[in-house]
Structure 1
Amino acid sequence: MLPPVPATGERGRRGGPSRPPARPGPAVEHRVISCVRFQKSAATRFFRVAIVAWSVQVARAGLCGSARGNLFSPPGPVRGPPCRVPSPSNGRRMTTPVSGTLSRTAGRGVALASDIAGEVFGFQGEATALPGEFDLNFHLAGTGGDIVLKLSPESRRPVLDLVAGSLRHLEGARLPAAIPRLVPPVHRGDGSDLVAHVDFDGNPHVACAVTYVHGMPLADLHPRSMPVLEELGTLLAQLDLALDGFGHPQLDREFPWRMETAPDTIRARLDDLTQGRDLVAATVARALSRLEPVRDGLPACVIHNDANDYNVMVMPSLHGARLSGLIDFGDVAHGWRVTEVAVAATYAMMGLPDPFEAACAIAGGYSSVLQLEEAECAVIVPMVALRACLSVCIQAREMALQPDNAYLAVSQEGAWQLLDVLARADWRIAEFRVREACGLSPNPRLKTIVSWAGQAEPRAPVMSPEVLAHPHTLDFSVGSPELPHPDDGPFDRLVADRIGTAGATVGVGRYGEARLVYSAPAFRSPGNAGDEARTIHLGLDLFAPAGAPVLSPLPGTVVSVVDNGTPGDYGPTVILRHTTPDGTGFHTLHGHLDRATLDHLEPGAPVDAGDLIGWLGDADVNGGWSPHLHLQIIALDPLHDDGQQVAEPGNYPGVALQRLRTVWEAVLPDPTAIAGLPAATVTAVAPAAQPVLRKRDLTAKRKTVLGSSLSLSYDDPIHVVQGWGAWLYDDAGRAYLDTVNNVPHVGHANARVADAIARQSRILNTNTRYLHSEITALADELLAHLPAPLEVVFLVCSGSEANELALRMARCHTGRDGVVCLEGGYHGNTGGLVEVSQYKFDGPGGAGAGPRVAVAAMPDTYRGRFRRGQGMSDAELGACYADEVGQAAARLAGGPGVAALIAEPILSCGGQIEPPPGYLRAAFEHVRAAGAVCIADEVQVGFGRVGDAFWAFELQGVVPDIVTLGKPFGNGHPVAAVVTTREVADSFANGMEYFSTFGGNPVSCAAARAVLAEIRDRGLQNHAREVGNGLLRELRALAKRHPVVGDVRGRGLFLGIELVRDRETREPFAEACSYLVNRARERAVLLSADGSDHNVIKIKPPLVFEEGDAALLVETLDTLLGESALRE
């Protein structure tokens, strides 16, 4: 049952003005100016249209209108009971059934709407029927714009009068988004703005027309944009300001959607629910417990009152969605100001993994214009709950009237899901988040608690003075060199070693650290931008031997003694309650204890400062952690929120999401001051700077000390501090799937490579003028992967250096200077290589091809000159593109002559272009016939990446004269190579010494040998083939679902996804590519754009990329490709 509702008094409710007194409005006088008769040739029905002048001036402010729902009725669609039907488009759709008499005449209305629009409103256009619950609505598109025509029952005239008056009042208001404007009839008599009265089927109706507000409903926008919701909050505040001073008798009308009387409405309709009554009743009771104490003091004003997700219009865009308009002024009323925020938040929250983020965005936007008071922030979530309850109750009655209408069931799903989330949520945390979004301190009780706890007496250390006497601060932050490598030994042994080495008695783990050690599933949370990991440690850790006593730091009462035995949890845990002198309560949590603690204390027992409350447990009983005490202060009741249980007994989070860090710091403040550590230690364990501040400082410093031509990836760059396998981690501990970095070939932070570098660095690092076995051993191991006659190795430091050396060799061997390169090719960053890289010299800042260069067409069979599907076989395509190489060589013959063809066997910067079969064989024949040598640039594609071969040139059945290697050879260590024939090497040995200071040094050779060993021992070439082939299949299946994907291609783990505006024209779609790259980054998947037109997503991850990683990539792309910006 619902709780009793206070009786309604003359001002709305007992005890105060929940609604302000009615504001006087102008009396409305109607007079008939003229009548017009219409006859439709295909019908026998006549309309008598009376043109009526209203003395109320409704200038072109216009009546409310929508092409997407009932214009003046309660919000549509209304949500209802729990849905058991699969829900398209977030469980809500646009088509609302037309009911009553009007539904039976809708067809005739469509037939006559165009005539009415033309004769009465002077608008020529073809009518299309729109949804409407009480009215007939039509969208008309004409050369002068679009309008919405509305036929309403005469009984709704007072509401239309209110709407017209509100829009008239808003005429001229400078709002950041559009609202509808009235289109006056052409017969204006004395010049007043007019609406038309229509005698329809013997019943009087009102006809009016309003301007059409363009955009799509917020309900259909995917994803739900937080910046758009913030814009919505700003618009609503500005609208409320603009409505100030508007008066009308209907502002204080009683209607179901009024927040002030919501409990009465719910009570009256509760029996209409076939299920969920207990949930609704409990939700209302909980909401009223928060609302009733403050309702009399809530500010009131004229509000729109219905910014639901079908009344908010948005424009999706590849550059970010924006708010385009607000429609439906049919619920405008005088009421609590905060209702405006709560109503909008209710619908914006539906269907989101983190719905409170949406509420915060709207509240924050509103407060940026009209500062919400503390009491208003406190009731936003309760009012959201009331609105959701209203929705399901009102809709339940509609379902009873239309039991066969499946839409009504589907449309309720969002409201019931939200009620379920609200039932399980801690509304205090939600309030803290809202407060922060509105510029207030999150927890108003925090200052009192922290101030007293820091100087409370009596007090005691949480462990014996002997244990705490000599602390050593441990660094568990992301990227810390103290953290064990994932392949190293047990964590607890390493912690003990650190403490022992420092000669300490206790290790201290800092409050506020971002850590990667929280790997259990319980530490993951669903977010609106994908799953997130809680990484911010909001307690103090004291590492000591198992069995060490744990003491109460302050006087208090035992609240719970519980074994949280799930792996990764606290194990045995004690929670104590403490009270400040002014009666403010707070709690302390003591986790990772021994099971003997469970029998030592009883809930309700008092404890004094210094009393024994338990002992440290070992990893077998404490959740699987190195023995330590986790201490935290909890600045609220950890179990109950206004009597509602919101957490597991005896447990409370100790790790927070980075984006909610400041809110949770207000719930779980730093407990260092009550731990009893020596004073000098307290400063040493102060929280590190927040990641967002470090990132801001780094960005500013980079702009100051580095060249602006050194680019950063992504619109919002990432501060990467650690890597492992196919994953990168930022300084807040967020994990990003790396699909683009082919340099860490055998995985980020590969232990074998790192150990090889460290080991050799400790022994010797010098140049190649001394004998050393590492360089010859590496050469032998490398040549074992190459076909004859490639048998001579030159070791250098980078792919650019390797390609420079290759060109020197070619020119020395042939005595000529000219080079044939491929369109879209890129070979390095030196001046000589930019000269032969068409991707660069024809790009921004480039000077075009020089006299020593001839460019051959890129062998692109999707968008190139010769294409698949034009009647040519693969062999013919390869021959045609190879002829382009021959023609390029011929162009150089009369000038500098041709020394070499330099080409990637699969073009990378050109867009992951795999040539057709036979292309390189024929191209090499043309080049060699001209007396030149063939250089295969394997910098991007070598070392097993293509799966079916160790080198990409092998896919074409050729052997180059020179092969260049780079990027992945050292897994991030700068090592590269040129491998050539004995003949070319001998030509290069012309008396001029070749020497590279760092090329072939022992450390680089050790790194490269470790890479080759990892590829061999872990079967990474075969792994690339298997994972890559599966990924290619999934990407091609994905392409069938998304028209923007024109082509998917590649080999192994070197793949490309080409995006086009139109599959017929194949026009490149660079903007879509940029959008996907940045949106994927927001979802923690790293992509990159490539191609001459920057419209290709390149996929070239570390070869340790797993099937699960591939599945996550496909899932992310599938989600992003379905977003509104790419569908419109």
Structure 2
Amino acid sequence: MLPPVSATGERGRRGGPSRPPARPGPAVEHRVISCVRFQKSAATRFFRVAIVAWSVQVARAGLCGSARGNLFSPPGPVRGPPGRVPSPSNGRRMTTPVSGTLSRTAGRGVALASDIAGEVFGFQGEATALPGEFDLNFHLAGTGGDIVLKLSPESRRPVLDLVAASLRQLEGARLAAAIPRLVPPVHRGDGSDLVAHVDFDGNPHVACAVTYVHGMPLADLRPRSMPVLEALGTLLAQLDLALDGFDHPQLDREFPWRMETAADTIRTRLDDLTRGQDLVAATMARALSRLEPVRDALPACVIHNDANDYNVMVVPSLQGARLSGLIDFGDVARGWRVTEVAVAAAYAMMGLPDPFEAACAIAGGYSSVLQLEEAECATIVPMVALRACLSVCIQAREMALQPDNAYLAVSQEGAWQLLDTLAGADWRIAEFRVREACGLSPNPGLKTIVSWAGRAEPRAPVMSPEVLAHPCTLDLSVGSPELPHPDDGPLDRLVADRTAAAGATVGVGRYGEARLVYSDPAFRSRGNDGDEARTIHLGLDLFAPAGTPVHSPLPGTVVSVVDNGTPGDYGPTVILRHATPDGSGFHTLHGHLDRATLGHLEPGAHVDAGDLIGWLGDAHVNGGWSPHLHLQIIALDPLHDDGQQVAEPGNYPGVALQRLRTVWEAVLPDPTAIAGLPVATVTAVAPAAQPVLRKRDLATKRKTVLGSSLSLSYDDPIHVVQGWGAWLYDDSGRAYLDTVNNVPHVGHANARVADAIARQSRILNTNTRYLHSEITALADELRAHFPAPLEVVFLVCSGSEANELALRMARCHTGRDGVVCLEGGYHGNTGGLVEVSQYKFDGPGGAGAGPRVAVAAMPDTYRGRFRRGQGMSDAELGARYADEVGQAASRLAGGPGVAAFIAEPILSCSGQIEPPPGYLRAAFEHVRAAGGLCIADEVQVGFGRVGDAFWGFELQGVVPDIVTLGKPFGNGHPVAAVVTTREIADSFANGMEYFSTFGGNPVSCAAARAVLAEIRDRGLQSHAREVGNGLLRELRALAERHPVVGDVRGRGLFLGIELVRDRETREPFAEACTYLVNRARERAVLLSVDGPDHNVIKIKPPLVFEEGDAVLLVETLDTVLGESALRE
């Protein structure tokens, strides 16, 4: 199979611009000013050079962007077009002008700006200079709010009148976000103007002020939020609606950024480019060829016309970024309505791996208020391309005029990158995506093609009737129980077994299935939230022996006969074109053929329905697949778009991304109807239900049949259907790196464990009152991992059962009832274990500590009572925390007495807390001195996870009296254990029989033995140490870059990252943890939150977690921790 022509879209259709007719409107009744472009005076240029300084206040002022930059590159200038520094609209003119001479120094200019603001506009505040290409801009912060002051040449008066008039038109409009409001001067003569005159170096200027729009520029927001872009589209439509009926003489003015005359501007400035002339010329020609046929059909209205990413203001938040406002009405004009969407999209698309997702979000938001027409949807991408061409051409001239202005060069990289992306994309696919976002059917011609193909005559089966006579459907979907284990190689066995069992002559692979068989990197692409894989099969597969003849289903013309020989691709492939009565036509692709096919047909040859076009190839020649025909319909020209090549000859994608499934189904419709299968089979192989629908149904069912106290992970839960190694797969085939599931200790779907369970299940499963060898063999193998005197094994079904039994043994052995537990400790879900789990009994719904329980301080050297950095050594810290255990034991002495001290060697629910050295040794001494037993809860810690030892207690150099085991013991199968001394086991045998029906059953024992064998044979303990140590180093380096990380700790693959609001106060930052795990999940990395303050990210993956997995985890954490919500 060929990877997608681009990650998101493919190439496309053409057109050309025209001026829309003027629309009548009310006369303008007032004069006001705002920012537009004008020829700079020498004095203005000198002053701009003197005061321009990039500042954080730029963004907050609502005028223009702050320093160009992001978390991955040093700050730099804006990317927008030259002279595009956003500026305010402003007020009316005073009859008695205020005069003054602004100094040529920035400091004096700032001081005079404050004076002007106070005297003219009655605003007292400290001024800060803002960047401006042609005007003098100042941000003033005062007690009553913030304003922006602008000084502009008198020559710009007509356009400034337009801007202020448009702002007046918008007063009172209900908008989704803020826009600047005019601030009038304190003194007005006739009350008709909102402009004050000042003198600047002998040149007349006008002063105006507008309110400050809060937020940061969209350009600086990380990540680029699609909901924010959708809201932007909504706001732009609301603005256009509110401006309906507005008129002004300047609405039809000529200026370089007008879309209707963009081609003329580009042509006149093309020679200014020092690079990329051919790219710009070709892009412009392509765009115009799509615009020209529909130019007269495009609606016109008054538009803002400049929603670039430095004019769009946003507020980042842990609950999701929101749109806060739109500034700079200097380009307001009458123009094509769709220009509003295209301009916003052009800047929003820059820098994204999938830029068309941004365009779709804006178009969809706009259409939710004002429905875009079909012709408009067809022109968004061409207009985006023209805007990018305009940007680089206009900027080039500015660079020639200002060769020392470094930011002009840097700021255009985004536009050049966008042009490169557009050149390699199929604009037809992009248009289909836009149409879908706007509520239209993606491919308007699809229905005609599908209808005709289903009833066309003459027709013939693609294989002989004898081959197709007895088909059987193969389930190749993600989660299919029929698929062979990934270790078992290709699908040949499945195909052979299923077809033989069904007595079938051909196996049928369904259209629309989500599959995991596309593992080659060619099927992966970069999305806006990380890598993603194409998994949705958009063809029909017919499995038959190699050499089976393949026939044309319909009359047609041979377009190509090509050997796509890359492993995982189609191998020899034939593409045919079939004419339709309306002349549109469509194509069929026949892939995975034999090389003999290559010499059988020639491009341009005619074939009739039923003509031989080739033979099935075997895995050596067909791309490495089991012999089969991949048949698909292609509802557009797969090679050319209006004469421009948009794909590799003889190839076309046959597998799509789930999120683009609907669009690609409109390009590659179901070909089952033309294959020649029996009618009953056509019904049986109907496309599988879309995963999103199954997920929604499952969530609804879960709420109906299960208790509401059973929670789900993540704001958007995952429907997991398959696992393998350290990865989980949802029902669309998306792969998620599992960094938190410590139950599948030796990997999800471990073959050795699964085979052991299946093998023993077929032989015997019964309770422990019968003799069988599995239970004794497991006990022997387990005992070998323990130091003396731990030698007696009790097998149970869960960690909770193990801890219940351990407490029962301790109470029986000591004759006492009291238990010492730790702050934040959790030991199980039974009533008896909730009683000794402070994490639960002091949490929501808990009743507090009971009389049989004493709680000791958590041995947390980061935020606990005794901390690192307080002048104590590690040994002293351990002793101080151990004393807390002794004091807790003393509190029980006069009552129930001490039966046991229960603790995890590394505290899990407490936040992955590793106690200081010597802690357990001293704590055990205190407990034993009080007559109690020491229980090590290894349910989460044990079996080599900590790397440096097999059991967590070994890290502290102690031997507990009782050890409990659980979660990883059976790799997900319910098996757990208690290991203790002979003395304690004998005291427990007091006449009351201990019996667990399922504890130690043969199947569970077989699973546990397989787990122990995997740990041993694959060296997973040392693997955990090596990968874990490297990961820990990288996480600590990560902490140096991100202040929100307060502490990184743990051993092996038992790690924790604590997030804080402030490193000095160490205030827990639970909201940041919630944000991080949900954003990581969106990027297909699964994390979870732990700790009593819910501010610790826990990392406890399967032990087969590889170094490459650790790299992906660190990269994901680095990306999310650098996002705006966690940096502001």
The bucket for the TM-score relative to the shorter chain is over 0.9
Q: Is the 8 A contact 1:566 1:623 kept in 2?
A: yes
- Tell me: CA distance 1:710–1:88, structure 2 relative to 1, closer, same or farther (3 Å): farther
- Tell me: CA distance 1:517–1:1107, structure 2 relative to 1, closer, same or farther (3 Å): same
Other structure's SS at 1:46 match: helix
- Tell me: CA distance 1:717–1:26, structure 2 relative to 1, closer, same or farther (3 Å): closer
1:907 aligns with 2:895: no
Q: Is the 8 A contact 1:78 1:392 kept in 2?
A: no
- Tell me: CA distance 1:111–1:101, structure 2 relative to 1, closer, same or farther (3 Å): closer
Q: Is the 8 A contact 1:58 1:167 kept in 2?
A: no
What is the rounded CA distance, in whole Å, between the counterparts of 2:36 and 2:590 in structure 1? 83
Q: Is the 8 A contact 2:89 2:167 kept in 1?
A: no
- Give the superposition deviation at 1:497: 2.5
Moved more, 951-960 or 578-587: 578-587
Unaligned 5+ segments in structure 2 are none
Q: Is the 8 A contact 1:65 1:210 kept in 2?
A: no
Moved more, 894-903 or 1047-1056: 894-903
Residue-by-residue CA offset, 1:912-947 (whole Å, 9 max, x unaligned): 000000000011111111100011000000000000
- Give the superposition deviation at 1:493: 3.4
What is the rounded CA distance, in whole Å, between the counterparts of 1:766 and 1:1038 in structure 2? 51
Other structure's SS at 1:232 match: helix
Aligned to 2:307: 307
- Tell me: CA distance 1:76–1:819, structure 2 relative to 1, closer, same or farther (3 Å): closer
Other structure's SS at 1:531 match: strand
- Tell me: CA distance 1:305–1:13, structure 2 relative to 1, closer, same or farther (3 Å): farther
- Tell me: CA distance 1:987–1:114, structure 2 relative to 1, closer, same or farther (3 Å): same
Aligned to 2:1077: 1077
| Aligned counterparts, 1:386-785, within 5 A | 386-785=386-785
- Tell me: CA distance 1:1086–1:803, structure 2 relative to 1, closer, same or farther (3 Å): same
- Tell me: CA distance 1:234–1:92, structure 2 relative to 1, closer, same or farther (3 Å): farther
Aligned to 1:1024: 1024
Q: Is the 8 A contact 1:963 1:978 kept in 2?
A: yes
Other structure's SS at 1:915 match: coil
What is the rounded CA distance, in whole Å, between the counterparts of 1:727 and 1:1047 in structure 2? 27
Aligned to 2:932: 932
- Tell me: CA distance 1:101–1:939, structure 2 relative to 1, closer, same or farther (3 Å): farther
Unaligned 5+ segments in structure 1 are none
1:80 aligns with 2:80: yes
What is the rounded CA distance, in whole Å, between the counterparts of 2:13 and 2:95 in structure 1? 37
Q: Is the 8 A contact 1:2 1:284 kept in 2?
A: no
What is the rounded CA distance, in whole Å, between the counterparts of 1:217 and 1:59 in structure 2? 6
- Give the superposition deviation at 1:403: 2.0
Residue-by-residue CA offset, 1:252-274 (whole Å, 9 max, x unaligned): 10000000000011011011011
Other structure's SS at 1:194 match: coil
- Tell me: CA distance 1:943–1:600, structure 2 relative to 1, closer, same or farther (3 Å): same
- Give the superposition deviation at 1:199: 1.1
Other structure's SS at 1:863 match: coil
What is the rounded CA distance, in whole Å, between the counterparts of 2:977 and 2:566 in structure 1? 52
Q: State TM-score, norm by structure 2.
A: 0.93
Q: Is the 8 A contact 1:62 1:182 kept in 2?
A: no
Q: Is the 8 A contact 1:91 1:411 kept in 2?
A: no
- Give the superposition deviation at 1:88: 27
- Tell me: CA distance 1:779–1:1063, structure 2 relative to 1, closer, same or farther (3 Å): same
- Tell me: CA distance 1:79–1:741, structure 2 relative to 1, closer, same or farther (3 Å): closer
Q: Is the 8 A contact 1:756 1:1007 kept in 2?
A: yes
- Give the superposition deviation at 1:192: 4.8
Q: Is the 8 A contact 2:557 2:605 kept in 1?
A: yes
Residue-by-residue CA offset, 1:1070-1104 (whole Å, 9 max, x unaligned): 00000000000000000000010000000000000
Residue-by-residue CA offset, 1:231-277 (whole Å, 9 max, x unaligned): 00000001110111111111110000000000011011011011111
Q: Is the 8 A contact 1:834 1:840 kept in 2?
A: yes
Residue-by-residue CA offset, 1:575-606 (whole Å, 9 max, x unaligned): 00001112121000000011111111110111
What is the rounded CA distance, in whole Å, between the counterparts of 1:546 and 1:633 in structure 2? 23
Residue-by-residue CA offset, 1:185-212 (whole Å, 9 max, x unaligned): 1113455563211111111111111111
What is the rounded CA distance, in whole Å, between the counterparts of 1:429 and 1:549 in structure 2? 33
Aligned to 1:266: 266
Q: Is the 8 A contact 2:91 2:183 kept in 1?
A: no
Residue-by-residue CA offset, 1:265-299 (whole Å, 9 max, x unaligned): 10110110111111111111111111011111111
Q: Is the 8 A contact 1:803 1:937 kept in 2?
A: yes
Q: Is the 8 A contact 1:57 1:168 kept in 2?
A: no
Q: Is the 8 A contact 1:175 1:235 kept in 2?
A: yes
- Tell me: CA distance 1:248–1:953, structure 2 relative to 1, closer, same or farther (3 Å): same
Q: Is the 8 A contact 1:823 1:856 kept in 2?
A: yes
Percent identity of equivalent pairs: 95
- Give the superposition deviation at 1:25: 7.2
Residue-by-residue CA offset, 1:415-437 (whole Å, 9 max, x unaligned): 11111111111000000000000
Moved more, 1118-1127 or 402-411: 402-411
Q: Is the 8 A contact 1:99 1:133 kept in 2?
A: no
Other structure's SS at 1:366 match: helix
Q: Is the 8 A contact 2:236 2:366 kept in 1?
A: yes
Moved more, 113-122 or 403-412: 403-412
What is the rounded CA distance, in whole Å, between the counterparts of 2:342 and 2:39 in structure 1? 48
- Tell me: CA distance 1:599–1:906, structure 2 relative to 1, closer, same or farther (3 Å): same
Other structure's SS at 1:1016 match: helix
Q: Is the 8 A contact 2:913 2:1050 kept in 1?
A: yes
Q: Is the 8 A contact 1:556 1:577 kept in 2?
A: yes
Residue-by-residue CA offset, 1:489-536 (whole Å, 9 max, x unaligned): 542233223212221111110000000000111100110011100000
- Give the superposition deviation at 1:126: 0.8
Higher relative contact order (CA 8 A, sep 6+): 2
- Tell me: CA distance 1:661–1:58, structure 2 relative to 1, closer, same or farther (3 Å): closer
Other structure's SS at 1:625 match: coil
| Aligned counterparts, 1:1030-1109, within 5 A | 1030-1109=1030-1109
Q: Is the 8 A contact 2:425 2:646 kept in 1?
A: yes
Q: Is the 8 A contact 2:802 2:966 kept in 1?
A: yes
Residue-by-residue CA offset, 1:709-762 (whole Å, 9 max, x unaligned): 000000000000000000000010000000000000000000000000000000
- Give the superposition deviation at 1:57: 30
Other structure's SS at 1:34 match: coil
What is the rounded CA distance, in whole Å, between the counterparts of 2:132 and 2:170 in structure 1? 25
What is the rounded CA distance, in whole Å, between the counterparts of 1:1017 and 1:96 in structure 2? 92
- Tell me: CA distance 1:49–1:473, structure 2 relative to 1, closer, same or farther (3 Å): closer
Residue-by-residue CA offset, 1:765-816 (whole Å, 9 max, x unaligned): 0011011111111111001000111111110000000001111111111111
What is the rounded CA distance, in whole Å, between the counterparts of 1:630 and 1:6 in structure 2? 22
What is the rounded CA distance, in whole Å, between the counterparts of 1:90 and 1:807 in structure 2? 77
Other structure's SS at 1:49 match: helix
Q: Is the 8 A contact 2:311 2:327 kept in 1?
A: yes
What is the rounded CA distance, in whole Å, between the counterparts of 1:75 and 1:933 in structure 2? 60
Other structure's SS at 1:1097 match: strand
What is the rounded CA distance, in whole Å, between the counterparts of 1:44 and 1:58 in structure 2? 19
- Give the superposition deviation at 1:988: 1.0
Q: Is the 8 A contact 1:92 1:411 kept in 2?
A: no
- Tell me: CA distance 1:95–1:1067, structure 2 relative to 1, closer, same or farther (3 Å): farther
- Give the superposition deviation at 1:486: 1.2
Q: Is the 8 A contact 2:7 2:526 kept in 1?
A: no
Moved more, 984-993 or 943-952: 984-993
- Tell me: CA distance 1:82–1:1004, structure 2 relative to 1, closer, same or farther (3 Å): farther
- Give the superposition deviation at 1:19: 3.4
Other structure's SS at 2:61 match: coil
- Give the superposition deviation at 1:404: 2.8
- Give the superposition deviation at 1:849: 0.9
What is the rounded CA distance, in whole Å, between the counterparts of 1:1039 and 1:54 in structure 2? 28
- Give the superposition deviation at 1:406: 2.2
What is the rounded CA distance, in whole Å, between the counterparts of 1:437 and 1:1057 in structure 2? 39
- Give the superposition deviation at 1:1112: 0.5
- Tell me: CA distance 1:1021–1:442, structure 2 relative to 1, closer, same or farther (3 Å): same
Aligned to 1:372: 372
Q: State TM-score, norm by structure 1.
A: 0.93
Q: Is the 8 A contact 1:589 1:633 kept in 2?
A: yes
